[in-house]
Structure 1
Amino acid sequence: MDGFGLDMVVASPISIKSEKILPIDLPVVDLSRERSMVTKLIVRACEEYGFFNVINHGVPCDTIAKMEEAASDFFTKPVAQKKQLPLYGCKNIGFNGDMGEIEYLLLSANPPSITHFNNISNMPSNFSATVSAYTDGVRELACEILELMAEGLGVPDIWFLSRLIREVDSDSVLRFNHYPPTLNKDCKDKDKSPSHNHTKVGFGEHSDPQILTILRSNDVDGLQISLQDGVWNPVAPDPSAFCVNVGDLLQVMTNGRFVSVRHRAVTNSHKSRMSVAYFGGPPLDACIVAPSVLVTPQRPSLFKPFTWAEYKKVTYSMRLGERRIDLFRNCTQLE
């Protein structure tokens, strides 16, 4: 979501072409409700939308506010200063000359990696502590959601998903994305009319390859999902919620019950959009396979076992417009 934590973006024109746009309201899951109801709502949302919002999520408001302030402070720095960080990128994304109306900061979401940022020049002294607190909060939220998913699917080992991102060597990522407004602030008021559509691609069409994504964004439109080919569904931001989406690995580990939906981020003509995405990833050597309870004669295994390292390598080598996950389907299930 909003860029899947790897230095790549789909090769596509920056300007948005004329497309079918149908706004959609994502399911909202209140984590404070009765547990059996919550599990049912999450499973249904993952099967039908691949996306949902969570409220009463338990991440302290103060932790969120400090993280957003730190990210905003970073992106307001002069470009020359930001470019001194090797993990900063702007417009040119990935290895194939792909472009997007975006600047970003990409961090490993593991505590040993985060502490190193105290030693990076041009970063505020409290940046590491702020990132650590936020990452701890969203990691716990991700684990809680994954355990609710497993319970809702009837998997006896409800930790089979969450333990992968709790591992010390988990390959989780925190990504800060900033989408500047498309129009120059000196543009005249007449250019603000609906007939003047200046929307551009911020981060191109893709699915997130990891297990689960937890997204926080400011109150500016930009996220769009595609539940059917040729149709884009804008998702209204909800400042009170985290947006959660299924990754490719979760689709495999649920034997196709949950769907990893393709999505993109577009710019806003007059407002700056910023998002912080936590991508929950397993250790590189983790074997990605569905538990036996989700494989039945009526629903045979749809995917061949593979490691996250193998899938990550494919993700880097292919363009995001291509469906990477299809390469790992069982051939017998494609006949």
Structure 2
Amino acid sequence: MVLASPNPIHSERILATDLPIVDLKAEKSQVIKLIVKACEEYGFFKVINHGITNETIAKMEESAFGFFAKPVTQKRQASPCYGCKNIGFNGDMGEVEYLMLNATTPSIAHLSNTISTDFSSRVSAYTEAVKELACEILELMAEGLGVPDKSVFSRLINHVDSDSVLRLNHYPPIHYPNKDRDKTTCYNYTKVGFGEHSDPQILTILRSNDVGGLQISPEDGLWIPVTPDPSAFCVNVGDVLEVMTNGRFVSVRHRAMTNSYKSRMSMVYFGAPPLHASIIAPPVMVTPQRPSLFRPFTWADYKKATYSLRLGDNRIDLFRTIPHGL
């Protein structure tokens, strides 16, 4: 498990590369092929020509930065949605402050009175846009996997009782005394802002500003920095989608690093099913050659397991019927 540490990170292998990029306006069969391949090999990819307007993104980012620029006493008025340093309920810490909202209009509207007059409309517009993008991608995935019902994944997010979340993460720059470093070398002095973990939900849609920090770990001990691209959204497979694809898609561990020159902001939509939803792979994903890797469970079961463990603990293995790697 990787936790935020007062010491710089030197020990992991860092491999410079970039994620697959999927142009959603390209020929559909090619788009599907690229998405499936990326989910099998990386668990992550970027999408461009996603249909979300620059205005919607800019207003959301402006509101997010505006909130985090407030005095701490004002930000704490948004508690328990607002948090700083503490991650989860089991002692995990990071160099991050955050605002976490249920991705529903009533929840967003309820909080807006403590933030700004236009917060509710901006966040609601952004949330609806990324939700539509998530559903579009999930339906392309289902088609690529040969699932007869292409809405088998997306309808869980579209459900009126969906447990989806919007999380705004702000990583202030970490300044190091007596270190005269420019932004090309400051990564030698980064700290873990948000520790190693996989996302428990179905699908994550992330947009960050032009500051690096996201790293993925497709194999133990290897970390791949993800190049920031404000024109793209970063998409990653969640634990629930790994289960529903019977392990064909991979939910890959990742983390966020701080830097010493500029604040990083990430706006993250976690598409999740209703609490009562049964999580099980469609029949087409289970064959004699590839038997079911997981036992059925509800999202409530999995969410409870998530909250009971620390950040880097492996939750998905609790529900395996076949040991990992066999």
Answer yes or no: same fold by TM over 0.5.
Answer: yes
Contact 2:88 2:311 in 1 (8 A): no
Within 5 Å, give how 1:1-335 maps onto structure 2: 11=3, 13-15=5-7, 16-86=9-79, 87-118=81-112, 120-121=113-114, 123-183=115-175, 190-192=180-182, 194=185, 197-331=188-322
Residue 233 and residue 333 in structure 1: after superposition, are their counterparts in 2 closer, same or farther (change >3 A)?
closer
Q: Secondary structure at the match of 1:208?
A: coil
Contact 1:214 1:245 in 2 (8 A): yes
Percent identity over the alignment is 69
Residue 75 and residue 154 in structure 1: after superposition, are their counterparts in 2 closer, same or farther (change >3 A)?
same
Map Cα deviations across residues 45-97 of structure 1 (whole Å, 9 max, x no partner): 00000000000001111101100000011111111211121111111222233
Residue 124 and residue 145 in structure 1: after superposition, are their counterparts in 2 closer, same or farther (change >3 A)?
same
- What CA distance in whole angstroms lies between the structure 2 residues aligned with 1:139 and 1:327? 29
> Once structures 1 and 2 are overlaid, which stretch shifts more, 153-162 or 84-93?
84-93
TM-fit CA distance, 1:98: 1.9
**TM-score normalised according to structure 1 size:** 0.92
2:103 counterpart letter in structure 1: A
- What CA distance in whole angstroms lies between the structure 2 residues aligned with 1:277 and 1:307? 23
TM-fit CA distance, 1:11: 4.3
TM-fit CA distance, 1:23: 1.6
Map Cα deviations across residues 162-195 of structure 1 (whole Å, 9 max, x no partner): 00000111000000000000116xx667243838
2:93 counterpart letter in structure 1: M
Contact 2:90 2:308 in 1 (8 A): no
TM-fit CA distance, 1:239: 1.1
TM-fit CA distance, 1:298: 0.7
Q: Secondary structure at the match of 2:218?
A: strand
TM-fit CA distance, 1:101: 0.5
Residue 64 and residue 195 in structure 1: after superposition, are their counterparts in 2 closer, same or farther (change >3 A)?
closer
- What CA distance in whole angstroms lies between the structure 2 residues aligned with 1:294 and 1:144? 20
Q: Which runs of 5+ in 1 are unaligned?
A: 1-8
Aligned length: 323
- What CA distance in whole angstroms lies between the structure 1 residues aligned with 2:300 and 2:160? 16
Q: Which runs of 5+ in 2 are unaligned?
A: none
Contact 1:39 1:152 in 2 (8 A): yes
Alpha-carbon RMSD: 1.8
- What CA distance in whole angstroms lies between the structure 2 residues aligned with 1:156 and 1:137? 26
Contact 1:197 1:269 in 2 (8 A): no
Contact 2:208 2:264 in 1 (8 A): yes
Q: Secondary structure at the match of 1:219?
A: coil
Residue 260 and residue 333 in structure 1: after superposition, are their counterparts in 2 closer, same or farther (change >3 A)?
closer
- What CA distance in whole angstroms lies between the structure 1 residues aligned with 2:64 and 2:222? 32
**TM-score normalised according to structure 2 size:** 0.95
Q: Secondary structure at the match of 2:173?
A: coil
2:197 counterpart letter in structure 1: H
